[in-house]
Amino acid sequence: MAHDPERTAVVVVDMQNGFCHPEGSLYAPGSEEAIEPIAALLERAREAGARVVFTRDVHPPEQFEDAHYYDEFERWGEHVVEGTWEAEIVDELAVREEDHVVVKHTYDAFYRTNLEGWLRAHGIHDLLLCGTLANVCVLHTAGSAGLRDFRPVLVEDAIGAIEAGHRKYALDHADWLFGELTTVAEVAFETETA
């Protein structure tokens, strides 16, 4: 089924130096490998007139100082700290002026952000989700989208993970419970000939 570009956004989750660059503190080769397919997807989406949203996982240094339970620094170590090179989107996926950037502080890009309001204000129904990590921020954001009555479509060959098994689990779970799966090659927009 082709996506209406007027009602579709590509949501690029956390493609930041800290996760995708070999010098990043939470670097995963699978995240770096997702850059090229995401770039191809973005080019097609932009040509068709679909919107592009980037999420950035950003942590103020003091974010978890008074945490009762939720402490990402304890689980993962310090990463993508606010104002650092690690927190920036990788150069290969340059953010354009017309793109929307969501700064988030948890795994879920909808939690205490403006993402839902922005999508609704722009008449977006379908979300083509890509980025990293498959079983963490991509999965939580996709599930949250489904609960809010958006159509989450995970672009499986444009999603990074630490291990292949993590990626397979996340995609299987999303497909079974709340979303759909596709590939970059299978994504079609109504303005394109299938």
Q: What pLDDT, in 10s, does the model give residues 34-60?
A: 999 999 999 999 999 999 999 999 987
Q: What pLDDT, in 10s, does the model give residues 87-123?
A: 999 999 999 999 999 999 999 999 999 999 999 999 9
Arithmetic mean of pLDDT over the chain = 94
Q: How confident is the model at residue 194 (pLDDT cuts 50, 70, 90)?
A: very low
Question: Which tokens hold the place of 137?
Answer: 């921020």
**Mean pLDDT of all residues in 145-154:** 98
Distance CA 158, CA 188 (A): 15
- Helix/strand/coil for 12: strand
Which is nearest to 102 in space by CA: 32, 136, 52?
52
Query: According to the model, what pLDDT value does residue 111 have?
Result: 97
**CB-neighbour burial class of residue 156 (10 A; exposed 0-12, middle 13-18, buried 19+):** buried
In order of their start, the domains of the chain are 5-182 (3.40.50.850)
**Mean pLDDT of all residues in 122-151:** 98
CA distances to 44, 100, 174, 176 from 124, rounded to whole Å, are 17, 13, 20, 23
- Helix/strand/coil for 105: coil
What is the number of other CB atoms lying within 10 angstroms of the CB of residue 62?
Answer: 8
Distance CA 11, CA 102 (A): 10
Amino acid at 50: A
Query: According to the model, what pLDDT value does residue 62 have?
Result: 83
